[in-house]
Amino acid sequence: AAKKSGKGQIAFCSEDMKNRVLEKMSMTNSLYRAQERNELHLHYQPQVSTVAKEIIGFEALLRWNHPTLGAVSPTVFIPIAERTGLINSIGEWVLLTACAQNKAWQDAGFKPVPMGVNLSLEQFRNANLENIIKKCLAETGLEPKYLELEITEGIAMKESGDVTRCLRELKAIGVSISIDDFGTEFSSLSRLKDLPVDRLKIDMQFIQGISVNAKDESIITVMINLAKRLGLKVIAEGVETAVQLGFLRAENCDEIQGYYYFKPLSSDEIEKNNFELFTKK
């Protein structure tokens, strides 16, 4: 039975319960096992151009279907994978699977679009990252321009020579690079100027402030203009409502990722629904 605290308030929700159970288990072992037992899979969230009225990309998002706990959020297990170093093998699997899926859709006759893959800082500490990525592209036959690496501001702003060198090398072969959760960490504008970045992803927290907080609206406007003046693309994350969409369109941000259009979906759901927006060539 649920423990009670105070006046009939339930002390935890089911997410908390899952997390506590998880903590009691050996995290490392259950994650190792997850990869071996095929408990990990990817979902794909479409990105939409409101002007062209079509899907212009996807983001690959990792899912863990635990045999007894069910779906575990990546916000819970990614930090564990990072702490244990497991993110290196998991991340390599994500890269390979995302590239293979994107190539398979292209081979099936769908319009070619880039797919974003999230990277953790730990993966850059592995000196081999650029070779891993090149190998994934070579093995799957995906053209580099259809892979977009998503890095957070924290990674992008690391003064580490490794990150810069790795990004420059991948950019040189045609891979694109976006800054994820833009606006939530410290961005040095001079570093932003020097990095080989293609796109800014405006963090959901600002989008949630649309029509609620004028400061969020001003920040969004500034971020859109910053991107445009630097010659970068810009996409808004976490768009859920018509009001949010209306504001963004009025501010000339026409690339949208969010539940308003699509939730992250399995590859089957993407294919079965035969989206009119995901048009055949």
- Written as six digits, the tokens of 144 are 């580099």
In one letter, which amino acid is 212? Answer: V
Which residue from 33, 94, 114 is spatially nearest to 69, judged by alpha carbons? Answer: 33
Q: Where are the alpha helices (DSSP H) in 27-151?
A: 27-36, 74-84, 87-107, 121-125, 129-140
Which residue, 118 or 187, has its beta carbon nearer to Mg ion? 118
H or E element in which residue 71 lies = strand 70-72
Binding of Mg ion at residue 118 (CB under 5 A)?
Answer: yes
Q: Work out how close the CB of 187 gets to ligand C2E at its nearest, in angstroms, rounded to a whole number.
A: 16
Which residue from 141, 133, 131 is spatially nearest to 100, judged by alpha carbons? Answer: 141
> For Mg ion, which residue of 92, 181, 254, 255 counts as binding (CB under 5 A)?
181
Out of Mg ion, ligand C2E, none, which partner does residue 47 contact, by CB within 5 to 8 A per kind? none
Are 33 and 238 spatial neighbours (Cβ–Cβ below 8 Å)? no
Binding of ligand C2E at residue 143 (CB under 6 A)?
Answer: no
Binding of ligand C2E at residue 57 (CB under 6 A)?
Answer: no
Which residue, 105 or 261, has its beta carbon nearer to ligand C2E? 261
Q: Provide the mask over 167-186, with x wherever binding to ligand C2E is found by CB under 6 A and - wherever it is not.
A: -------------xx-----
Binding of ligand C2E at residue 270 (CB under 6 A)?
Answer: no
> For ligand C2E, which residue of 238, 256, 270, 278 counts as binding (CB under 6 A)?
238
> For ligand C2E, which residue of 5, 14, 73, 211 counts as binding (CB under 6 A)?
73
Q: Work out how close the CB of 238 gets to ligand C2E at its nearest, in angstroms, rounded to a whole number.
A: 4
Task: Tell me how many degrees the CA angle 198-202-206 measures, rounded to the nearest 5.
Answer: 170
Binding of Mg ion at residue 153 (CB under 5 A)?
Answer: no
Q: What HEC string does 199-259 produce?
A: EEEECHHHHCCCCCCHHHHHHHHHHHHHHHHCCCEEEEECCCCHHHHHHHHHCCCCEEECC
With tokens 């994350």, the residue in question is 237
Q: Work out how close the CB of 207 gets to ligand C2E at its nearest, in angstroms, rounded to a whole number.
A: 8
Which residue from 234, 235, 277, 238 is spatially nearest to 260, judged by alpha carbons? Answer: 238
Q: Provide the mask over 27-66, with x wherever binding to Mg ion is found by CB under 5 A and - wherever it is not.
A: ----------------------------------------
Which residue, 42 or 195, has its beta carbon nearer to ligand C2E? 42
- Give residues in contact with Mg ion (CB under 5 A): 118, 150, 180-181, 237
Residues that bind ligand C2E (CB under 6 A): 45, 61-62, 73-75, 78, 91, 94, 118-120, 150, 180-181, 204, 237-240, 257-259, 264
